[in-house]
Amino acid sequence: MTARSRPLRPFWVDRVVDRWRSERRRRGRALYPRRVTRRCTPFVTGFAVLALALGGCAGSSDDTGRPDPPEDRPVVSLTYSMSSALDSMTGTERVTFTPDRRVCELVFRAWANKPLTASTGNSLTVRDVRVDGAALPLSVSAAGAPTGRPGTLVTARLPACSPAGTPVTADLSYAVTLGAGTDERIGYSPRDRIAWLGTAFPLLAWQRGVGWVTDPAVAVVGESATSEAFRLERLQVVAPAQDVVSGVGQEQGEPSSAPDGRRVHTFSADAVRDVTVTVGNIVRSTAKVGDTDIVLSLPRNGSRATAQEWTSRLTAAVTALEARFGPMPFPSLWISVLPAVTDGVEYPGAVQFSDVDPARERWLILHELAHMYFYGLVGNDQGRDPWLDEAFATYAEELVSATPNAADCRPAPSGVGRSLASFAGGAGKDDDYVDTVYEGGACALHRARAAGGAEAFDQAVREYMRTRAWTVAQPADLAYALRDLPEAVAVLRRAGALPPAAGTGSGVTG
Ligand SMILES: [Zn+2]
């Protein structure tokens, strides 16, 4: 199904997926035939006993031994210059990266031009890409963008090919238009005077060991961005003086004054894969959970829950996830509650949340924060292997909240390991995607854990997280971590999560 063969919906990715899941729950359409509401009670049987008794009751201690992000990771600097109405911005980007193979062009993705974001008026237009001061010839391909809109794939041909191992630095300028009331990762609310800018810059499309990732955007409720972890050397947001900015990583001092009276807000982050920023009439508050700073932003016009209620739920979620998966991979979590959007979208060290009641939507808080480990820390190609972050985030959410798992869960209707694009065109493609990748994927993981033994499985997952930290993982990497648990591997193979020949991965793919 193409993006234009049916009315476009003004929402996308986790937000949509998670909304459906919450609607199902509200409608009473059980995700599981039997619902167990307990914690560690002995009335469940079979796999569930194993899963709950051995793993679901107590948080595993975690000696992560995580490596630092790669020394030679890309380095990015961004400037966002906001318009007075917060309905557009102009941006600059400097990116330096060291390709591990010869390159003859530079490729960037303009994800704001994906079908469901473009349909609500958002756009990202790359004006120029320069290397050593010289503008490169640009080629922009739709790659899934609607006809007549800027494309998602921007290619800049280098004057001469550059050998592997040689750093390349490019300077870009670009313009972003925001869609009013967009129920999506990028947009703005004129009524509340808040803009949210997720993936609002040209994202370098390089993947170590793979090369340029150029898969078209598809109109399925999932995302297809892929990015190595990069060092965000500097993010400068130039915003009207009355506006507050919620950024990423560490804030670099107090905002300074620009010559035109606007304020310059500066941030940096050691390792992220993507960036979101919130600007406008918001109120920020901070809290500390262990070593993690939570920076919460609520609409100044009011929100369903108070800052205290949000902080309480966020704190509980961080504590629960850390008990099982180790310290949060990011020193700061920038949490934005947004007026026009639904449910949540994860970013490394940041989440965009809907204006929900966090006490009622505890699962949503857990799910999005679980993405800090599965997607943020252990990256994946979200178009090719969406289950590696979505199934794991759902699994983590359920494991931590002790939702029933192995015995009671609903298996995927088709292969868990399907790519996002493979769902395009099917009837009920979005429900199919959720059932297969989120729910079915989590079910496969719960059953693999029960089959392999919870303790051994947890240890293998920790090895996977440790060895693949700050990389873009592939299913073979998980198979390698599970190499001593053939029963678990067999479960994941049968579910189509791992390929038939899995178990022979090197564990080092780049
Ligand atoms: Zn998710």
- Looking at residue 116, its pLDDT comes to 85
Domain end point (choices 342, 368, 394): 368
Assess if residue 17 is contained within a domain. Answer: no
Q: For position 316, which CATH number holds? A: 2.60.40.1730
Q: What is the DSSP letter of 504?
A: -
Q: Is the pLDDT of residue 28 over 60?
A: no
From the CA of 126, how far away is ligand 1's center (Å)?
Answer: 29
Ligand 1 centroid–CA 394 distance in Å is 7
Could you say which of 334, 368, 402 is where a domain stops?
368
Cα gap 426→286, rounded to integer Å? 44
CA–centroid distance, residue 455 to ligand 1 (Å):
25
Report the pLDDT value the prediction gives residue 268, as an integer from 0 to 100.
98
CA of 458 to the centre of ligand 1 (A): 20
Shared domain for 389 and 284, answered yes or no, is: no
The Å distance, Cα 509 to ligand 1 centre, comes to: 24
The stretch 235-239 carries a mean pLDDT of 98
Ligand 1 center to 121 CA (angstroms): 24
pLDDT (tens digit, 9 = 90+) per residue, 143-172?
Answer: 999 999 999 999 999 999 999 999 999 999
Indicate the range of 259-263, 430-434, 468-472 predicted with least confidence. 430-434
Distance, in Å, from the CA atom of 71 to the CA atom of 230, rounded to the nearest integer, reads 10
Centre of ligand 1 from the C-alpha of residue 31, in Å: 16
CA–CA dist 353, 364 (Å, integer):
9
Q: Say yes or no: 81 and 154 in one domain.
A: yes
d(CA 366, ligand 1 centre) in Å: 10
The interaxial angle of helices 362-370 and 13-27, nearest 10 deg, is 150
Residue 339 counted as domain residue: yes
Structural domain including 99 reads 75-228+230-272+274-368
Shared domain for 335 and 454, answered yes or no, is no
DSSP string, 230-296: EEEEEEEEEE-TT-EEE-SSEE-SS-EE-TTS-EEEEEEEEEES--EEEEESEEEEEEEETTEEEEE
Residues 35, 101, single domain; the answer is no
Q: Strands 263-272 and 256-257: what pairing?
A: antiparallel
Same domain, 351 and 485: no
Rounded-to-10 torsion of CA 167, 271, 344, 81: -60
Q: Is residue 501 part of a domain?
A: no
Ligand 1 centroid distance, CA of 89 (Å): 28
- Specify whether 39 is located in the same domain as 85: no
Residues 6+ apart with CB under 8 A from 93: 76, 77, 78, 79, 170, 171, 172, 173, 174, 201, 202
Query: Residue 258 C-alpha to ligand 1 middle, in angstroms?
Result: 38
- What is the per-residue pLDDT across 210-220, written as a single tens digit (0 to 9) for each? 999 999 998 88
pTM of the model: 0.87
Position 502 pLDDT exceeds 70: no
Q: Are residues 94 and 42 in the same domain?
A: no
Q: Which residues surround ligand 1, an ion (CB under 5 A)?
A: 14, 390, 393
Distance 261 CA to ligand 1 centre (A): 39
- Å from CA of 16 to ligand 1 middle: 10
The answer on 422 and 317 residing in a single domain is no
Q: Cα 142 to chain center, whole Å? A: 23
Is residue 178 in a domain? Answer: yes
User: Could you give the number of structural domains in the chain?
Assistant: 2
When pLDDT is cut at 50, 70 and 90, the band that residue 37 belongs to is: very low
CA 246-73-330 angle, to 5 degrees, is 40
Q: Are residues 80 and 119 in the same domain?
A: yes
Q: In whole angstroms, what is the distance from residue 210 CA to residue 43 CA?
A: 48
- The CATH number of whichever domain residue 422 belongs to comes to 1.10.390
| Å from CA of 42 to ligand 1 middle | 30
